[in-house]
Structure 1
Amino acid sequence: MTFQRTLIAACAAGLMATTAFAMTPAEHKAAKESISADYKMNKQKCDALKANAKDICVKEAKGAEDVAKAELEAQYKPSAKASQKVAEARADAAYAVAKEKCDDLTGNAKDVCVKDAKAEHVKAKENAKVAAAQAKPADTAAEKAANVAEARKDATAEKNEANYKAAKERCDAMSGDLKSKCVDDAKRMYGQS
């Protein structure tokens, strides 16, 4: 009898917590408007800057808006997919800013910067996919383990390819045997053929 009362009390508390954290459509709309207002204010601050500093500022403002929107949707309609979208929005925002910062560089240094930014972007997006696979329900533990293993395998392949491209770009600053050795080392390190 005590166990049943405890169970009922726990269920009631859970339902109350769920309704306490649930967002009404009006609250959702107000939060969206607040995010848009914050974006406009942050973007306006960029007007005082010049050249690439202004471009970076604008990318940061847009990225913050996109992340805030994804977080809002995850709060409004929580799900594993919504959580994945938040992680992907963060990855996309970081990538856009990092790529924009590369514009301050030239030549091979810029190319390396862009490839490094892309490798970080791929890493973050692939990690989000693995996290989504871990959060996704499955009929059996074996099925879930297989799904997570497959996601990790795919993620590792994608990350290795992006890291290889970045490493290979660094080799382009070299020449002759040194460049060949650099490329061979990168292939070996990242499992590329």
Structure 2
Amino acid sequence: MMNKLNIKAIALAVSLGFSAGAMAQTMSKTDYTASQNKISSDYKAAKAACASLSANAKDICVAEAKGGQKVANAELEASYKPTTKTRYQARVAKAEADYGVANEKCDDLAGNAKDVCVKEAKAAQTTAKADAKAQMKTTAANSTASEKTTDARSKANTQAADARKDATADKVDAQYAVAKEKCDPKAGAAKDDCLAQAKAHAGK
């Protein structure tokens, strides 16, 4: 039951995302409100299904239900009012929802395996958010260059390059944190070598 509801929530979010362009042209306030009510109803049904579970399985189920609702609402907003900001917010909602579920799943582990799992979940979230921010900044930079002057295009390209550079730095830092965590179970020279490789790979 849980998987069916989760798939339903994900399908709703995806369908809203893929139909953003069409809905932006045709969605009325009435349709928007109806979609909000449908998302709320689906969330309540998904959360209710979690009641039969226990321990961490229940926590994961609730995280999936909440994440699905947040993503669906963000996608709906991006469809109803398509702007650079709402599309960015939809991508951030997806990153946070994925992180919430992944982080809960880490609770099934223990020791270093759990620590690595948490770091990997955080790295995935950081990567998704960094890409979303880079995309938003690039889009904004390009829109300011709409007059097509040489100076504007040059400035837009510089801003886009800076955005990609910032995103890459954030992602490298997140992956470095994962690599360091994986070195923890080691000791002595093996740990030193592991940390040195992690640092070199990250360009630290």
The TM-score bracket by the shorter chain reads 0.7 to 0.9
Please report the RMSD computed on the Cα atoms of aligned residues, expressed in angstroms: 1.6
User: Structure 1 residues 18, 125: closer, same or farther in 2, change over 3 A?
Assistant: closer
Do the aligned partners of residues 171 and 51 (structure 1) sit closer, same or farther apart at CA in structure 2, a change above 3 Å counting? same
Q: Deviations over 1:70-118 (max 9, x none)?
A: 0010011001111111111110000000000000000110000000110
Which structure is richer in relative contact order (CA contacts within 8 A, separation 6 or more)? Answer: 2
Q: Tell me the TM-score normalized by structure 2.
A: 0.82
CA distance in 2 between partners of 1:114 and 1:95 (Å): 9
**Given residue 162 of structure 1, which amino acid in structure 2 is its aligned partner?**
A
Partner of 1:152: 164
Deviations along 1:47-83, whole A, 9 cap, x unmatched? 1111111110110110000000000100110011111
| Bigger CA radius of gyration | 1
Q: Tell me the CA shift for residue 21 of structure 1.
A: 2.5
Question: How far apart, in 2, do the equivalents of 1:21 and 1:37 lie?
Answer: 25
**Structure 1 pair 180–124 and aligned structure 2 pair: CA distance change class (3 A):** same
Structure 1 counterpart of 2:202: 190
Q: Distance in 1 between matches of 2:192 and 2:50?
A: 44
Which amino acid in structure 2 is aligned with residue 60 of structure 1? E
Q: How many residues matched?
A: 176
Alignment of 1:143-182 (within 5 A): 143-182=155-194
What is the percentage of aligned positions where both structures have the same residue? 48
CA positional deviation for 1:24: 2.0
TM-score (normalised: structure 1): 0.87
Could you tell me whether the CA contact under 8 Å between 2:24 and 2:80 is conserved in 1? Answer: no
Cα distance, 1:18 vs structure 2: 7.8
Listed as ranges, the gaps of 5+ residues in structure 1 are 1-16
> What displacement does 1:20 show?
8.0
| 1:66 equivalenced with 2:70 (yes/no) | yes
Residues 71 and 90 of structure 2 are in contact (CA less than 8 Å); yes or no, is this contact kept in structure 1?
A: yes
Partners of 1:48 and 1:18 in 2: CA distance: 39
Unaligned runs of 5+ in 2: 1-20, 146-151
Q: Report the equivalent of 1:118.
A: 122
C-alpha deviations, 1:156-187, integer Å up to 9, x for none? 11111111011000000100010011111101
Aligned partner of 1:92 among 62, 73, 96 = 96
Alignment deviations for residues 2-21 of structure 1 (CA, whole Å, 9 cap, x no partner): xxxxxxxxxxxxxxx98982
Tell me which residue corresponds to 1:11.
none
1-structure distance, mates of 2:144, 2:185? 48
**Equivalent of residue 53 in structure 2, options 42, 49, 53:** 49
